[in-house]
Amino acid sequence: MSLKIQSVKDASFAQYGRVVEGYDFSELLDVLRDTTDAPQSVIYVPSDENLEKLPIMSELSDNIYGGMPVQIGYCNGTNTKLNCLEYHRDSEIDIAADDVVLLLGRQQDAADRSYDSGKIEAFLCPAGCAVELYATTLHYAPCSAKNGAAFRVVIVLPRGTNYDKPSITPKCGEDKRLFARNKWLIAHPDAPEASQGAVVAITGENIDIAPLI
């Protein structure tokens, strides 16, 4: 596997997102560590009241999202595989309580029927670091930075994202990728989501970073 793990602080990350600076996320991460589990699988909770009642909620909504209503949830667990790629119509803020590796791609490269996993790039996001993933950035669950190590990551998105998808009549090929509200998803044939109705459109290897960590 030719994939190498870069850093979110490298210039190569700029096409996918930016490091978010100027905010104090320490209380948010303390509450995440104290009140949420990090299992051997991966869990995602779109909205968590313990996180959303903190003062940082208004700063995320007003400063980063320009006054738009947001939700603060989390993605915790243990993972080394790509499995799927998703994107939204807006940026996502990831705030890492533990070292994690993000597997990222460009929505532009997935505009056709399929996406070649060989285009994926990997970036280490260190504990305590927050990043904005742009709307055109393909991403999915974070990966562990060390084999067997569990992670906790705060996920901030516009309110309503990742809940039940609306009932629509597809107008184009992309509409078939709508997997949840404000969540367009494509899966690798080996991913569990492939048997859950996700569009299978990732070709090549189902990337597993275990040999790299």
Q: What is the DSSP string of 28-50?
A: HHHHHHHH----SSEEEES--HH
Looking at the DSSP bridge assignments, the partners of residue 116 are 203
pLDDT of residue 1: 60
The whole-number mean pLDDT for each consecutive block of 10 residues of the chain, a chain of 213 residues, reads 92 98 98 97 98 98 98 98 98 98 97 92 98 98 97 98 96 95 98 95 98 96
Which residue in 56, 55, 49, 46 sits closest to 35, CA to CA?
A: 49
Report pTM: 0.97
Instruction: Work out whether strand 84-87 and strand 183-187 pair parallel, antiparallel, or are unpaired.
Output: antiparallel
CATH pick for 5-162 out of 3.40.50.300, 2.60.120.10, 2.40.50.140, 3.40.47.10 = 2.60.120.10
pLDDT of residue 51: 98
Spans of all domains in the chain = 5-162
